[in-house]
Structure 1
Amino acid sequence: MRTKSKQILTFVCLGILPLDGWAVRTSSFVDTSYEEFVLGEFNNVALSNSGVLKLAPSLDLLAKLDEPIVWVAASDQEGNLILGTGNYGKVLKVDSEGEVKTLFAPEEMLSRALAVAENGDIFVGTSPSGRVYRLPKAGRPEVYFDPPDSYIWAMTLDKRGNLYVATGNSAVVYMLPKDFQPNDTPTKWFACDQTHITSLGWDLDGNLLAGSSPGGTLYRIDSKGSGFALYNTGEQEIRQILVNDGGKIYFSTFSAGARGKKPITPQTQTKIEDDDTFTVTAKQFGVNGTNTLSQAASGSSTIYSLDQEGFVETYWGLPRAHVFSMIFSNLDELIIGTNDKGRLFSVRKRGEWNLLQQTPTGGEVSIIFPSKKNNGELFVITSNPAIIYRLKGSLAESGEYTSRVYDAKQIAKWGKILSVSENAVDSFGAFSTRTGNTKEPDATWGNWKSVDLTESGLLIKSPNGRYIQYRASFDHLKSGIENVRLFYGTKNFAPQLGVIRVIPVGFKLLNAIINPPNIDLDKLLDEKNPGRLIQTPIPRLKLKKRGEEGLLTVAWKSFDPNNDRLHFSLSIQNIKDSVWIKLAEKIMEPIITFNTNGFREGFYRVKIIASDEPDNGRDGALKGERLSEVFLIDNSPPRVELSGKNIRGNDVDFKFRSSDSFSIHREAWFSLDGQPPKLLRPTDGLFDSRIEDFNISIDALESGTHSLVLEVIDESGRSGILTVPFSIFQNE
């Protein structure tokens, strides 16, 4: 299989680009994968799971129905569509011209099952009263079979003309022979311990296949009515069963909640409205157990395949895409109808699939049915709203793909579009764009403008704006698109500086050693941007305190609107001077420690200048600056003096004065004769001045020589120490 190499980047920085006086970095938006392209809107455009946009098969409107929901479809001998609907259970006939006619309106709300006999008789299974009606080709409708069960979920005819009826609440399959007449006793062909038999089909050996709920079990029932459980999905419902020409069985499932949850709590039956969920509740009719069969419910869906040796594998499934219908095309592709914006998917083989088409009005693709008159043509029928389309085997005449809205985060100047087709770069030129400044496109956005084909590429002509969309137009002559890249530039904005902190402590910078990360192979393969996984993490700065005196640290926060790299310059100024002294230039880290010894004591401020020169060059760089608050450089300790001493026998009183030229005092301690120091407060009780007085009184001293040590510390962390020796003489 051919593979393609794609650059998967959502934001690319390429260098400096001067645009009409703007100093900018070129950036780009990229669509290159299914996950990216699928966020756009599709009009006759298909998308492969490998991320290639192509023209889709033609999808033409045939008819609009008054009924909101179509549950089941069949065709009569003339090739007309026969439809079973809700909310009023009408059975409709739609001819090849789209003319709609009501064939039958039962008493029940839902016509959920249809079968057409060889003689043209139409059998209609209804719910919730659980009847089978016969609509003879000539004659009046009649109640053909009225079982005790509440629901008729599916019906099918075998090659001999016998009718099989799948029911709930008792999970019974009845067999009505070809010559069955009303009031005859049917054959109870198969029963199981489930609540509902929800779907029927046939394998290549003529065995009946049945899917159940709430256990999600697939059964094979032989010609004698003996059943064998082929596979239990663990999900709530098997919705549809198909068998291909090779005998492989495909069956789709649905669960109302996360996979493996129990059936939801019993509820009352609710009438089906446009977007409501129809809840089937067995308990309402006096039978234990419940089941939810939804035409528009949240939950999960999966398609499984089972080969003739009994091996089962998950064949297809997507998050948020619930499978409502499926059929094999004449090309042996599985065509799948979902609830996701009325989208159709085609699966060629496991792991290779396409988003094939999308209905213009959305809804759920509840039925896909082959046309008897036109080989290869399919009827695509949606619910909510109920509309019938023809899906043709030929490609549409034209198609358009409209991208999601891209956000440049600020006003951007748009450059060129680079498209990569399946065959060459820039071979696809049918692009247009529109721009605006609101998150959702509205009347304030500009009109769509075609790109200009220039010598250097496809030039975007839309005006500057924060948001942009592109549109690609397809026709039969254009190959598929694998990659679309929109280049733009944003105006360079000056860096901004935030808080500045001045700390009277020194730090040593330590770069934390970060080993290259281990990369999981599965994550590498699943990640849309593999480069993100292999990038070496930016080391975080760590600080270690330094013990030298006179060190001062300045740290700050910075921000650049363009995410540019920054470098910083630092200057210092005494507030009494006009001259700035440069301390550092073009440093990359937002922190610096310097030695203040030798500085004239006094009050200073620092100025930080941030520049985005590393990413914009000298000529295109912008700067931002900020001043710190005033701070003090004071490397002189307080001067401590003894201002008074009075010895009274064995008692002594001291008076001290401490003064500092700039700093406020912070704390004081004294120690007598080497004892542990004691906290000392000023005479007024507050450390609030550059001059403080202290009194110390000591009683009952022993005779002899003593020493008193007083230490006073200012707010700069400098300490002044005074030692006072004194003697006490014993009185005789």
Structure 2
Amino acid sequence: MADERLKHHSAMLRKVKEDRMLARTINIVWRRTCGITLRLRTPVLAALVTTLLWASVSYGVETKVLRDETFADFNQGESTGTEILSTGKLRIGPLPRRLMRSDDAIAWKVALDRYDANMFVATGHDGKVWRVEPNGKTELWADLEEVEVTAITVDLTGGVLVGASPGGRIYRVVEAGKPRLFFETKEQHVWDLIFDRNGVLYVATGPNGKIFRVRGEQNGELYYDSEATNVMGLGFDSEGNLLAATQGKAMVLRISKPNAAYVLYSATEDECRSLTVDNNGNIYVAVNSARLSSLFDRLGADKTAQSQTQNTSSASATTRPAGGEVREIVAGMTSALASLSGQSFVVQIQPSGFVMNFWNAVESPIHSILAAPDGNGVFVAAGKKGKIYRLFTDSNYSLVADVEEQSVLSFTSHNGRVFFTTANRAALYELSDASTSESLFASRPLNGNSTVAWGNLMINANVPEGTSFSVDTRTGNTADPFDATWSEWAEATRLDDQLFRPKKAVAQYLQYRLRLRTAKKSASPQIDSVQVFYVQRNAPPILRDIRVEKVGGESAPLPAATPTPAASPRTGEAPAQPSRQDSGDAAKSSAGAALWAMIAGRDSSAMGGAPSAARVGAEQNSARFNVTWDATDPNGDRLIYRIALKAEDETEWRWIEKELSANRITIGTENLADGLYRVQVEATDRLQNPDDQLATATLVSNVFVVDNSPPTIRVTSVKQVAPNKWELAASASDSLSMISAAAFNVDTAKEWRALSPTDGIFDDKTEEFRFVVEPDEQTKEHVVRLRVTDREGNTKVEKTILRPNGSR
């Protein structure tokens, strides 16, 4: 009894081990196939999953999955207060807050009054400056004659200094609507304005790469000539030295005194666009291979010079450059801004002088860069979709803002607060330092490539206590999710901690939206990956272009024929014949031409330009056809083919192949009666679909000729015209194919001499021949053999016996 119990116990242990091994194996296979980890604990569940797994392998219309799990995946979506980490995670991040928006095309720069916290925004293409008060009130502060206000700063007494382009003037505005000319650079562009700790103003200009130092109204001088095209940005290092980023000759300069500079960094790219210095004295530089400053190069220097000649201290006395032409040029600046592309990256210049590549931009170009006031990374405005990135290292960065305007152009900071401006349209934002309590992320439209049934969403997430997330979905059949034909957002039904079921499930496209929430400022849900399952409707296979081609070149070639003259129907003289070397080369082409004439439904007698007798009909009939076709399956299923054959005078198709996996077959015609035939190809995806879901497609070929019978030959006339010379007339005909070649030989001659029809062209199923026979020797009897071939390669030989005095 004890032995029985021991055996039973051992059997149970083995069964448990087998179940565990099965569960572990299924987990591995399922994880590798679908990216899902299952926890199988019972034999029943293991068996169920095994069945499902084999079902997914067996059926062509199997469940597929689209994944968002990398930075590149999530970066194609749109976020509002959601931070996208370079590791491919989502979490609640800073929330951009729009402070103002105008009808202007571009907000070039923003400056803050450190005393009353008013903000001043420089815009284009109407030369306006706006004041934004802390309470949100906005008013027009200045409307300049120039079309672009490209630089702005505020002095220690609250005066607003603005740089205008084209013309290179600097205005000071203390009261609304009363700009006053402060300094003329006599350059075309003013790109940046900055005060040092002593209240001295430095001006970056172009297109001659000059920096001016201005100590007061109309009290300025050339400080440094960089010999670059444009000086794009200015700053100060930790020791108070002036820094300059240039374009044309892409450099970062440290300028310690007038006309004394040291190159900290130079690049082979086109421009160093912007620079910033962090709390540790590191300098960060945005480098582009495409330049923004070139957009102004066509603002005519002669028109700028014309406006500069009006040397007056009042802005009301200046004249705007020829408005029509200038506005035509600047009207395209916003679109040109969006078209800038090329390589962009950020370099770090350490206080020791060492330079390292800090970040390769995921979007180009880089417009502006700012060291975070709290020391937590570097903000970078890059690309053409209103995005701001925060950099920590080359591999550690995140997308922290995504606004609806096309590009973020500039940054500034004040008392730890970060502000930025945009283009298309002009707007001013504050980038909140603290994370919001709720954020949104909308994915890119996920494409099923056809109308599909969308299944559950599986979301892997880390959800700390006090945080949560939910999922909305919408569907449509256009690539643009903002199309009015898309469904409304609807919350997906939560099935468990990971699975969510969308409301409307049948469409080509699906978009999901994540809503992240937290009740704790220090915590956020983190989304690791999103998987969306879908299944395509089983679409039928697609068959195209059945080609039926005669097999040639495998049978023994017929003996070559030497050209011989045949009498012209007009002159009675033999026409010129093609050379012998052409005869074999044209055999296949002539036979193929006849076949395709029949398939195309053309009357063979109407074919023009047929080869002469010396160039056709040089091969025997192979009695085989190659049939090929093109086939695809929209679902990617493997296809099986059935092939049927039918003569034109028959009503039923007869299957000649039922299990063909290749898209070609060779058909022998030795046992077929002569006539016109068609091939039918049926494609099915039954190997990978159940019987109630399989689909088929059928296509029928054009008609082709099966002709295994040789032509008939009849000698119609024999006339002796000299003691050893005869003139013969003959005809050849075929019921299905055109005659393609003819030749004769006399007695034991090894050579065959080619014949041409009396009309000079092989273009009919019946041809007439006239030729002269003059044997080399005079004997009592001569044997003339006449050989005729049709375009299917069938050959017939008939003989005629010639005897002197007209006897036969």
- Interval of TM-score (by shorter of Structure 1 and Structure 2): 0.7 to 0.9
1:191 is displaced (CA, Å) by: 2.5
1:697 correspondence with 2:772 = yes
Residue 798 of structure 2 corresponds to which residue in structure 1?
722
1:505 correspondence with 2:551 = yes
Kept in 1, the 8 Å contact 2:121–2:131? The answer is: no
1:17–1:428 CA distance, 2 compared to 1 (3 A): farther
Equivalent-residue separation in structure 1 for 2:129 and 2:705 (angstroms): 92
Kept in 1, the 8 Å contact 2:295–2:336? The answer is: no
Residue 71 of structure 2 corresponds to which residue in structure 1?
34
Equivalent-residue separation in structure 1 for 2:338 and 2:679 (angstroms): 66
Show CA shifts across 1:322-373 (max 9, x none): 41353424143111234623221111112322221112x414323322232x
Give SS of 2:689's match.
helix
1:352–1:651 CA distance, 2 compared to 1 (3 A): same
> Which is richer in helix?
2
1:235 is displaced (CA, Å) by: 4.5
1:133–1:501 CA distance, 2 compared to 1 (3 A): closer
1:491 partner letter: R
2:236 partner letter: W
Show CA shifts across 1:209-251 (max 9, x none): 1223432332111246511233333455443221223332212
Equivalent-residue separation in structure 1 for 2:733 and 2:201 (angstroms): 111
1:247–1:668 CA distance, 2 compared to 1 (3 A): same
Q: What's the % identity of the aligned pairs?
A: 25
Kept in 2, the 8 Å contact 1:327–1:368? The answer is: no
1:381 to 421, 434, 455: 421
Equivalent-residue separation in structure 1 for 2:207 and 2:717 (angstroms): 107
Equivalent-residue separation in structure 1 for 2:144 and 2:551 (angstroms): 90
1:586 partner letter: E
Residue 282 of structure 1 corresponds to which residue in structure 2?
none
1:559–1:724 CA distance, 2 compared to 1 (3 A): same
Residue 221 of structure 1 corresponds to which residue in structure 2?
255
1:166 correspondence with 2:210 = no
Give SS of 1:606's match.
strand
1:468 partner letter: L
1:346 partner letter: R
Residue 492 of structure 2 corresponds to which residue in structure 1?
451
The 5 Å alignment of 1:488-567 reads: 488-505=534-551, 549-567=622-640
Please report the RMSD computed on the Cα atoms of aligned residues, expressed in angstroms.
4.4
Segment drifting more, 301-310 vs 685-694 = 685-694
Kept in 2, the 8 Å contact 1:62–1:97? The answer is: no
Residue 520 of structure 1 corresponds to which residue in structure 2?
none
Kept in 2, the 8 Å contact 1:703–1:729? The answer is: no
Kept in 1, the 8 Å contact 2:737–2:791? The answer is: yes
Show CA shifts across 1:359-413 (max 9, x none): 2x414323322232xx4x3223334433332222222222222233344343322
The 5 Å alignment of 1:139-178 reads: 145-149=183-187, 151-168=189-206, 171-176=209-214
Give SS of 2:392's match.
strand
1:306 correspondence with 2:352 = no
Equivalent-residue separation in structure 1 for 2:699 and 2:216 (angstroms): 96
Kept in 1, the 8 Å contact 2:278–2:371? The answer is: no
Give SS of 1:215's match.
coil
1:206 correspondence with 2:240 = yes
Residue 659 of structure 2 corresponds to which residue in structure 1?
586
1:598 is displaced (CA, Å) by: 3.5
Equivalent-residue separation in structure 1 for 2:691 and 2:431 (angstroms): 61
1:362 correspondence with 2:405 = yes
> Which is richer in strand?
1
1:55 to 62, 68, 92: 92
1:570 to 614, 631, 643: 643
Q: TM-score, normalised by structure 2?
A: 0.70
1:187 is displaced (CA, Å) by: 5.5
Equivalent-residue separation in structure 2 for 1:387 and 1:490 (angstroms): 44
1:650 partner letter: N
Residue 437 of structure 2 corresponds to which residue in structure 1?
397
Show CA shifts across 1:181-226 (max 9, x none): 5465x55432232344332211123321122343233211124651
Show CA shifts across 1:309-329 (max 9, x none): 343536343444441353424
1:617–1:233 CA distance, 2 compared to 1 (3 A): same
Kept in 2, the 8 Å contact 1:429–1:458? The answer is: no
Segment drifting more, 663-672 vs 127-136 = 127-136
Aligned length: 658
1:45–1:547 CA distance, 2 compared to 1 (3 A): farther
1:710 correspondence with 2:786 = yes
Segment drifting more, 201-210 vs 480-489 = 480-489
Residue 615 of structure 2 corresponds to which residue in structure 1?
none
Equivalent-residue separation in structure 1 for 2:179 and 2:760 (angstroms): 107
Kept in 2, the 8 Å contact 1:135–1:142? The answer is: yes
1:401–1:656 CA distance, 2 compared to 1 (3 A): same
1:669 correspondence with 2:743 = yes
1:38 partner letter: N
Q: TM-score, normalised by structure 1?
A: 0.76
1:650–1:187 CA distance, 2 compared to 1 (3 A): closer
The 5 Å alignment of 1:94-105 reads: 94-100=132-138
1:313 partner letter: N
Show CA shifts across 1:672-709 (max 9, x none): 35264333356687767777665443257641254422
Segment drifting more, 122-131 vs 226-235 = 122-131
Equivalent-residue separation in structure 1 for 2:150 and 2:545 (angstroms): 69
1:399–1:136 CA distance, 2 compared to 1 (3 A): closer
1:721 is displaced (CA, Å) by: 1.7
1:644–1:248 CA distance, 2 compared to 1 (3 A): same
Give SS of 2:637's match.
coil
1:6–1:369 CA distance, 2 compared to 1 (3 A): farther
Give SS of 1:166's match.
strand
The 5 Å alignment of 1:273-292 reads: 276=331
Residue 418 of structure 1 corresponds to which residue in structure 2?
458
Equivalent-residue separation in structure 2 for 1:547 and 1:701 (angstroms): 30
2:698 to 610, 613, 625: 625
1:141 is displaced (CA, Å) by: 8.1
1:408 correspondence with 2:469 = no
